[in-house]
Amino acid sequence: MEAILALIIVAAGVAGVVYVLARRMAPLFRAAKGPAIDRIGERLYGVYWFPHHRMPRPGYEVAGYTHITTLVSLIVLSIHVLMVIYSGFVGFEIPGLESAVGVGYAVISDIALTVLFIACVFAAVRRGVLKPPRYEVPEKYGKDKSRPWAVFLVSFLAAVALLDMIYLGSDAVAAKAAEEGYRFILPLTGTWFAAIIMSGLSASAAGTVNVVSYFILLIGIFVFVNLLPFDRLFHTITGPVTVFCKKLERGSVKPVQWGVDDESVADLESFGVKKFEDFNWKHILDFYSCADCGRCSDNCPANASGRPLSPRFISLKGRDYAFSHYPLKGPFVKNEPLVGDIFSEDEIWSCTTCGACEEECPVTIEYIDKIVDLRRGMIDDGNVPQSLQKPLNALGKRGNPWGKMEKKRPEWIKELPEGVTIKDLSSGDTAETLYFVDSMSSYDDRMMDLARATATVLSAAGADAGILGKNEKDSANDVRRFGEEMLFMELRDHNSEMIAGSGAGNIVTSDPHALNALKKDYKDMPPVEHISEFALRKLKEGTLSFASLDEEEKGKIYTYHDPCYLGRHNQVYDPPREVMDAIPGMNRVEMSRCRDRSFCCGGGGLMLFYEPEEEERMGVHRVRMAKEAGANVIVTACPFCLTNIEDAIKVAGLEGEMEALDLCELVARHIGS
Amino acid sequence: MEILVCVKRVPDTAENEIELNAEGNDIERDDLVYSVNEWDNYAVEEAIQMVDKHGGSVTVVTVGDEESEEVLRREMAMGAEKGILLSDDAFEGSDGKGVAAILKAAVEKGSYDLIMTGAQADEGYAQVGGMLAAMLDYPYASLVNSIEVGDGKLKVGREVEGGNIEMNEIELPCVLSIQTGINEPRYVGIRGIRKVASVEIPAMGASDLGIDAGSVGEDAAKVRRIDYFVPEMGEGAEMLEGSTDEIIDKLIELLKSKGGIK
Ligand SMILES: Cc1cc2nc3c(=O)[nH]c(=O)nc-3n(C[C@H](O)[C@H](O)[C@H](O)COP(=O)(O)OP(=O)(O)OC[C@H]3O[C@@H](n4cnc5c(N)ncnc54)[C@H](O)[C@@H]3O)c2cc1C
Ligand code: SF4
Ligand code: SF4
Q: In degrees rounded to 5, what are phi and psi of residue A511? A: -110, 110
For residue A551, pLDDT beyond 70? yes
Read off the pLDDT of each residue in A42-57 and give the average, rounded to a whole number.
Answer: 92
Q: What is the pTM of this model?
A: 0.91
Q: Which ligand is nearest to the CA of A598?
A: 2
For chain B, the 3-state helix, strand and coil shares in percent, each to the nearest 5, are 35, 25, 45
| pLDDT value for B258 | 80
| Amino acid at position A296, single letter | C
Q: In terms of DSSP bridges, do strands B140-149 and B57-63 run parallel, antiparallel, or are they unpaired?
A: unpaired
Q: Residue A24: is its pLDDT beyond 80? A: yes
pLDDT digits 0-9 by tens, A163-203:
999 999 999 999 999 888 899 999 999 999 999 999 999 99
Strand B34-36 and strand B9-11: the pairing is antiparallel
**Better-predicted residue by pLDDT, B258 or A600:** A600
> For residue B14, what pLDDT band results from cuts at 50, 70 and 90?
low
Nearest to A113 by CA among A191, A187, A209, A184: A191
Q: Which CATH class is domain B2-220?
A: alpha beta
Q: Within an 8 Å CB–CB cutoff, is residue A664 touching chain B?
A: no
Percent of chain A predicted with pLDDT > 70: 100
Pick from B31, B35, B194: CB nearest A266 = B194
Specify the domain boundaries for CATH 3.40.50.10700 within chain A: 551-669
Given this model, what pLDDT does residue B16 score?
A: 61
Q: Are A169 and A197 in contact (CB under 8 A)?
A: yes
d(CA A617, CA A649) in angstroms, rounded, equals 11
| Among the ranges given (A91-105, A154-168, A576-590, B236-250), the one the predictor scored with the smallest mean pLDDT | B236-250
Overall average pLDDT of the B44-65 stretch? 97
Nearest to A276 by CA among A343, A224, A225, A223: A343
Mean pLDDT calculated for residue range A601-605: 94
Nearest-angstrom CA–CA distance, A661 and A280: 42
In what order do the strands lie in the sheet containing A633-636?
A: A588-589, A558-560, A633-636, A659-662
**Confidence band of B12 (pLDDT split at 50, 70, 90):** confident
Which of A364-378, A509-523, B16-30, B194-208 comes out lowest in average pLDDT? B16-30
Cβ pair B191, A271 in contact under 8 A: yes
CB–CB of A542/A223 below 8 Å? no
Cβ contact A514:A637 at 8 Å: no
CA of B99 from ligand 1 middle (Å) equals: 7
Ligand found nearest the CA of B100: 1
Contact B189 A397 (CB under 8 A): no
Pairing of strands A659-662, B9-11: unpaired
- Name the percent of chain A lying above pLDDT 90: 91
Are A286 and A591 within 8 A, CB to CB? no
> Which band of pLDDT confidence, cut at 50, 70 and 90, is reported for residue B15?
low
The answer to whether residue B229 scores a pLDDT higher than 80 is no
Does residue B17 have a pLDDT over 80? no
CA distance A256 to A480: 10
| CATH annotation of A398-541 | 3.40.50
pLDDT, tens only, A320-341: 999 999 999 989 988 889 998 8
Comparing CB atoms, the residue among A382, A398, A403 nearest residue B188 is A382
Q: What is the amino acid identity at position A63?
A: A
Q: Quick check: A143 pLDDT over 70?
A: yes
d(CA B82, CA B204): 14
Place A542 in a pLDDT band, splitting at 50, 70 and 90: very high
- CATH, domain A244-383, list 1.10.287, 1.10.1060, 1.10.10, 2.40.160: 1.10.1060
Is any Cβ of chain B less than 8 angstroms from the Cβ of A445?
no
Q: Is B16 an interface residue toward A (CB < 8 Å)? A: yes
A144 pLDDT band, cuts 50/70/90, is confident
Asked if residues A665 and A449 have their Cβ atoms less than 8 Å apart, the reply is: yes
Q: What is the pLDDT averaged over residues A364-378? A: 98
- A551-669 CATH fold: Rossmann fold (3.40.50)
Q: Looking at the predicted structure, is the pLDDT value of residue B66 above 70?
A: yes
Q: Which residues pair with A278 in a beta bridge?
A: none
- In this prediction, residue B102 carries a pLDDT of 97
Task: Return the amino acid letter for A281.
Answer: W
Q: How far is B180 from chain A (nearest CA, A)?
A: 12
pLDDT, position B124 = 81
SS3 A203: helix
First to last CA, chain B: 52
Q: What is the pLDDT of residues B126-141, one digit of tens each?
A: 999 999 999 999 999 9
Residues of chain A found within 8 Å of residue B244, distances taken between Cβ atoms: 650, 655
